[in-house]
A and B are shown apart, each in its own frame.
Chain A
Amino acid sequence: MIVQALVFYVFATISIASAIMVISSRNPVHSVLFLILCFFNAAGLFVLMGAEFLAMILVVVYVGAVAVLFLFVVMMLDINIEKARQGLKQHLILGGSIGLVLLVELVLILSSTFASPEAVAVASVPIPNIDVVHNTRALGQVLYTKYVYLFQACGMILLVAMIGAIVLTLRKREGVRKQVISDQVNRTREESVEIKKVTSGSGI
């Protein structure tokens, strides 16, 4: 048990420390790299809780794909960190209040045992015992049956977001030459080769 506790504290400490570094480091690329470290440690915490499927999906989706694109964009930008810091005082009230609301909500979730014991009971209903069904199967059993409409709604939202992003960034440019592979493959000898008799010394 002591190893588990030790590992928990290691993951927890590193994830909190890297989360702080995300907002405090001066170089935006370092921020993203710390964010990745934070995700990774969160995945470690999931494993400790016995939710190995969620842990792996977190790494595959967030670290393996989303954060790569994040890093991609941040590296291309030329961000002047001093300039970005200038408006700190004006945004402090708005940002601080959003942070406060989030904090209160998190505390409410964590303390829901006291606030409403019924909510906890409802939330824990679909979770079967971990010894009976391992959590990948358990997720599959409720995701496509009990929560299928919510699941589909999430899919739709993502699809709309994706189409929106494509529509916003798509621009038709004139004079761009594109390779059309079917045209190249369908070229015949007649339309591309012409044989000429050349008399010596005169050229074509």
Chain B
Amino acid sequence: MVDFWEGYALPTVIIVAQIMVVVGPLLIAVAYLTYFERKVIGAMQMRKGPNVVGPFGLLQPFADAVKLMMKETILPSGSNKIIFIMAPMLTFILSLVAWSVIPFGEGLVISDINVGILYLFAISSLGVYGVIMAGWASNSKYPFIGALRSAAQMVSYEVSMGLVIITVLMCVGSLNLSDIVMAQKGEYGMFNWYAFPLLPMFVVFFISILAETNRSPFDLPEGESELVAGFMVEYSSMSFALFFLGEYANMILMSAMAAILFLGGWLPPVDIAPFNWVPGPVWFSLKIAFVLFCFLWVRATFPRFRYDQLMRLGWKVFLPFTLFWVILTAGVLVGFDLLPAAQ
């Protein structure tokens, strides 16, 4: 009995507790990201944004959630029921499971696996299935067109994202996310972060994660002016809410990825007294918030891309450019003898 408790039950309890500690704040962050988005875009368009429900409109996300839960879940009669229901669940689950490898601070990670970055890349590449399945199962024109667009878009931008990740990995010499953050620690503080030496790659990565999460200006799968709401046309109530939550959780996840790869993860920008008193997770959250702000800033600023322009950007601009930078970085690392030592 003691063996059972110490060998199986206790680790399970600890893991479940860790998952709760990550997922709870994540869901609250998702709720307040929608609020943040409306406030930021409101401010950029010289409006007030939500300001009626609660002080400063702070209860607005909960009002929205309750509204969505109260609505009727509609299953179109021509749809493929099982896949139709599975699609939003898949989107939401995938946006949560990826958080298991994200390091929030030194040693603050649920699962510190060797191939962490590949795991993240794999999970983010699965996100397309939620969209395709939803589009196909709806058995309707607009969702199907939205799904096809999304499939082509996500597959295209993954290629350049992969090459960006390879560039960073060459500088680090490890696939472990904690190692990637620690490799950015140095005497120059924030100038050691890869955002500075690899600035063009950071820009490409940022644009690629906009496309990967189907955010504006690459929100063609939704494209409300032409496709009504793209793959989400037939969804209502909680199934719609799951897509919505999944999309925003994915945004936060991709921002976390950007923070880890390019903005030094949990490291303080300057490694001196008042800054390194602040705990790592706080710096990490601030960096995620910064990237998220850029997401919203882009949304408030740019018009939507046309579909052929989107494909051109992905295949004819980003792919050759990132390929060139991979070779250049490799050349510099070998030429100046900067390759990371074997561990």
Chain A positions within 8 Å of B, measured between CB atoms, are 3, 29, 33, 36, 52-53, 56-57, 59-60, 63-65, 68-69, 71-72, 75, 134, 136-137, 179, 181
Q: Is the interface of A mostly helix, strand, loop or mixed?
A: helix
Q: Determine whether the beta carbon of A52 is less than 8 Å from that of B122.
A: no
Q: A30: nearest residue on chain B (CB-CB)?
A: B83
B88 to chain A, nearest CB (A): 15
B145 to chain A, nearest CB (A): 12
Chain B positions within 8 Å of A, measured between CB atoms, are 8, 80, 83, 113-115, 118-119, 121-122, 125-126, 128-129, 132-133, 136, 144, 148, 151-152, 154-155, 158, 162, 175, 308-309, 312, 342
6 extra A-B contacts, CB within 8 A, seeds A29-B136, A64-B126, A136-B115: A3-B8, A52-B114, A59-B126, A60-B122, A69-B155, A75-B136
Q: Which 8 A-B pairs have the closest CB atoms?
A: A64-B125, A56-B118, A59-B122, A60-B122, A52-B115, A56-B115, A56-B122, A75-B136
Q: How many A-B residue pairs have CB under 8 A?
A: 63
**Chain A positions within 8 Å of B114 at CB level:** 52, 134, 136
CA–CA, A125 to B139, complex, Å? 53
Q: Determine whether the beta carbon of B133 is less than 8 Å from that of A33.
A: yes
- Best-buried of B115, B148, B158 by chain A (most CB within 10 Å): B115
A51 to chain B, nearest CB (A): 10
- Other-chain residue from A53, A56, A57, A72 in contact with B132 (beta carbon distance below 8 A): A72
**Chain B positions within 8 Å of A29 at CB level:** 80, 83, 136
Q: Determine whether the beta carbon of B125 is less than 8 Å from that of A63.
A: yes
Q: Answer whether A65 and B118 are a contact pair too, CB < 8 Å, given A29-B136, A33-B83.
A: no
Q: A69: nearest residue on chain B (CB-CB)?
A: B155
- Best-buried of A3, A60, A64, A75 by chain B (most CB within 10 Å): A64
**Chain A positions within 8 Å of B175 at CB level:** 53, 136
CA–CA, A109 to B206, complex, Å? 46
Q: Answer whether A71 and B126 are a contact pair too, CB < 8 Å, given A53-B115, A179-B308.
A: no
CA–CA, A137 to B176, complex, Å? 12
